[in-house]
Each structure stands twice: as C-alpha cells, then as structure tokens.
Amino acid sequence: MEEAFRAEYGHLSELRSMLKRDVPFVALTATATDAVRTTIIKDLCMFGCVQLLTVPNKPHTKFSVETANVEDLYSTFSWLIDELEQKQQDTAKVLVFCRKRAHVRDLYELFHEHLGEKSYVCPNRTEPKDDRTRLFAMYHRRTHKQVKETVEKEFCKANGIVRVVFCTVAFGMGVDVKGAQLVIHLGPSNALDDYLQECGRVGRDTNEMSHAVLLKYKGCTCSKNISKPMKEYIKNNSECRRIVLMKEFSKNPSKGDIGHACCDICSKICKCKCHCSTPNCTCSDLCQVAEYMSPISSHLTNATAIRNENSADKAQKMVSNQMISEVRRQLLEYRAKLANNIPHERLLTGLDLASGFSRALIDHVTSSLHLIDSYETLQKKFNFLSTEHAKYTWKIISEIISDVHSDSEEDADVSSAISNSDEDNKEVKDSTSGTDTDSDDYNTIRRVQRICLDSSDDEHSSMDEL
C-alpha cells in the first residue's frame, strides 16, 4: 500500500508546502494497516489529525488460492479464451494482476495467438483493429498514456469493449470498474494490504457474488519484497482466508456469514443446507462446493481431476503392458511345478483343486497388479488356500515390479520364510526327480496329459487348466 501510494502521488514536497500555508488536506484510503497509516501521517505531517477507520471487508467477495503452471499458461486460461471466442463482448469482465511484466506480455500474446481475428469487435467491419476494439488489453507502467486512457475508459464501462485486462500493480489505485466480479492474481502481491487494494477493483456490485483468486506457482514467494503475512496467506490451508486477511485491520476479524461465499477453505465445510438445531451437529449435508466456485477455480479443479484420472490410467496401462504377461507366465510355471509333487489320483480332480492354486486366482492377481503394494494387501485382497502360494506369488510380484517395497519386519520375515521354503522345495524335488527345472516342467506336462487321456470325462477341462 505504501509503495503504491508513493507511486501514485510521487514527491510530497508540494503537499507539505500546502500544509504550511494552512491549506486543509484530507487523506483517503480504503486499505491501510496501522503501520501504513503511521507512515502516511508522518510523511504528510498530519499530526493530531482525526482518523475515521473501518475494516475493508467485502462480505460478498470469496477468496481462494489455486495452483497454476506458469510454464503452460494456456492450460490455466483456456476457459477464458473459449469464453471470449464464443461470447465476445458479452464475456464477463476479468482483471488479471501479474507479479511479473513478462507474464502480462505472455498472456497478451497467448490470447492474441489463439483468438486471431476474433480478438476484435468490429460491428461495421470498418473500425480500426487496435486497443479501441480489442477484447483484451495490457496495462503496466510503461504502457502508452493514450492506451492507458482507452483501457480504463472501456474496461470501466459496464458495456465496454475491453473485457479482460492483464496488468501490474499500476492498475491498482483510483480505477472504478463497473460490473467486474472476478479478479485473478498470477502470483502474490507484496503485502496483504496491497492484495486487498487490488482485489477492490472488482466486486463493487454488492448484489452479486464476486471472486478474488490467487494463483500460486513454484517459486512465486521467493522475492524478498513479499511480506511474511502474504506468504502465510498463500501457505495457509486450514484457517479462514478472510480472517487471515482482516487480522491486519481488525483485532477480532470474523468469517463470512455464509461459508460457501467466504473462502475456498470455509466452503469445504459449509453446512448452510443443514437445518439441524443440535449445537454440535455432525450432519453430512454439506454444500456442493462446485456450485460456488469461480470459473477459473472450477476449470482448474476439473483439469486436475482429468489429469489424475489419465495418470492413473497410464500407470495401470504401464503395469498391464510391461508386467502382467511376465507375472502371469511365472505364476503358471509355478502352478505346473506344483503338479510334480501331487499323486496321480489327486490330479484326476483337476489341477485347480489338486494344487490349491487355480488359474482363476492367477487371472485375478495379474489383472489387479496396480492395486498390490505389499504382501499384506495381497493376502487381504485374494483368497489363497495356502500361505506358501501367497508368499511365492508376492516374491514374483516384488521382483518384477521395481517400485514395490517391503519396509516392515513382517515383510522381512516373509522373505526369509520364502527363502527357506524355496530351499526345502528344491531339496524335495532334487531327491525325487533328479532333473533340472526344464525337465521338471516337461515331465509334469507329460504326466498330466497322460492322466487326461486316461480320463475322458476331464479331458478338455484338464488341458485348459494346464
């Protein structure tokens, strides 16, 4: 606030000289903390003055903080580009404050690139295609004076041509915008009072709900010029944002009257639809948060949900393509090896029942690999008739899926048990068959085929099981 005040009024020597000549002077500001008021009084030599104070709270403005990717501004602002293309001059006004002038330029070029000829409103097709007919505009300290005047005039009118303004703090003071209900900050202001001052450019129609959305991104709070309270406001994810903002102006700040219209944090726990008279109500009849979101918050929420869903699908596809076939192959080999130690008469009942390790179980495990993250999960989700089968299955999965880790002592004991079990199985097989693994597989297949041929009733089912 202090920096903006100095930038607006420049040197104060003339004001001081006016005061020395007993010229009455009044200083007005909508957002000034105790520290800022003290500085203003000192610089203007207004000692002993009367102060009329009030809290700069707009109860109809909802405050939110969202995450944006400045490396891909289109993904963040595509909804606004689409609105300008479809609605043209009927697009709701949006004011976008940028911390960096480079972001102002990038957004301007992005919108111009995507909208092309639709960037302009030319009803008679004879109007010049410049800042007077363009739907969006830039506004910063180095913008030409005439362009500034045009932007201010068109954007401040209720039905003006300029519908979106990308600006810096230069647009913050003394601009009365009509009919704008959304202000977006791409990066934080230097201080909370600066932020409130800039948010005050919109939401002047108290009959409509307005939105102040701050977009945070990686490294946006690195500047030493950003105050500690501003950084805390961004990092906060539990306390009402309105209370955090008003702490600088009031000793006892309060939340908004309606939770869903207060801030993004309060809207998540709003129970205005609940008519229960119980003091400590635990009803689950919450507001539908999406109904009260700003357009950009709704867009970013939907985009995040789609991105997460695509990531999950991609991860599942990667597991399916790279690992399922190998896990399945090894589990079928293990199942075939089990037949080596099964008496002939038991094999007549089918390999599923005889081994206790059915092909259906293998299919279930391999189709759910993306859900298996531990041995405990494997046991809970799948019905293994033998603990040894479960241990061996987990061993195969953990060896193939590199990102499956077992950190608990139980998993360590399981690994040890698997190792001992493997050694015991190896000794039994070596003593009974005296052949290597490949020979065991071949002999097992021949044995089962022979039994199947002798039992015509089970022929097809036994071959399928193999």
Residues 412 and 324 grouped into a single domain: yes
Q: Are residues 173 and 240 in the same domain?
A: yes
Q: Is residue 54 part of a domain?
A: no
This prediction has a pTM of 0.62
Residues 245 and 377 in one domain: no
DSSP state of 296: H
Same domain assignment for residues 415 and 461: yes
Task: Classify residue 134: in a domain, yes or no.
Answer: yes
Residue with tokens 């867009």: 299
* Same-domain status, 124 and 159: yes
Q: What is the mean pLDDT of the segment spanning 100-106?
A: 94
pLDDT of residue 16: 55
Residue at 167 is within a domain? yes
Q: Does a structural domain hold residue 344? A: yes
For residue 34, the enclosing domain spans 2-43
354-404 pLDDT, tens digit per residue, is: 888 888 888 888 877 877 878 888 887 788 888 888 898 888 888 876 543
> The tokens of 12 are what?
């104060």
CATH code (residue 139)? 3.40.50.300
244: in domain: yes
Is residue 76 located within the same domain as residue 33? no
Structure tokens belonging to residue 76: 């963040």
Strand pairing report for 164-167 and 61-67: unpaired
Q: How many CA atoms lie within 13 A of 447 on its CB side?
A: 21
Listed residue (177, 13, 17) closest to 95, CA to CA: 177
Q: Which pLDDT value is given to residue 106? A: 94
Tell me if 369 is assigned to some domain.
Answer: yes
Mean pLDDT, range 18-24, rounded to an integer: 53
CB 143 within 8 A of CB 162: no
Same domain, 333 and 442: yes
One domain for residues 324 and 403: yes
278 has pLDDT over 80: no
* 281 contacts 271 by C-beta, under 8 angstroms: yes
Give the residue from 5, 11, 15 showing the smallest Cα distance to 40.
5
pLDDT for 119 equals 94
Question: Which H or E element spans position 64?
Answer: strand 61-67
Residues 118 and 6 in one domain: no
Residue 109 lies inside a defined structural domain of this protein: yes
Confidence (pLDDT) at 286:
65
Count of alpha carbons within 13 Å of 130, Cβ hemisphere only? 8
Residue of 406, 285, 394 lying closest to 331 (CA atoms): 394
pLDDT at 230: 94
Whole-number CA gyration radius for the chain: 35
CB 189 within 8 A of CB 200: no
pLDDT tens digits for range 440-450: 444 444 444 44
332 and 388, same domain (yes or no): yes
d(CA 77, CA 214): 14
Residues 30 and 131 in one domain: no
Q: Maximum distance among all alpha carbons in the chain? A: 122
Is a pLDDT exceeding 70 seen at residue 414? no
- Specify if 307 maps to a domain: no
DSSP class of 356: T
Q: The dihedral of CA 97, 98, 103, 105: what is its sign?
A: positive
For the chain, percent of residues with pLDDT exceeding 90:
31
Q: Which residues pair with 94 in a beta bridge?
A: 164, 182
Number of domains the chain is built from: 3
Phi, psi at 276, each rounded to 5°: -75, 140
Same structural domain, 348 and 383: yes
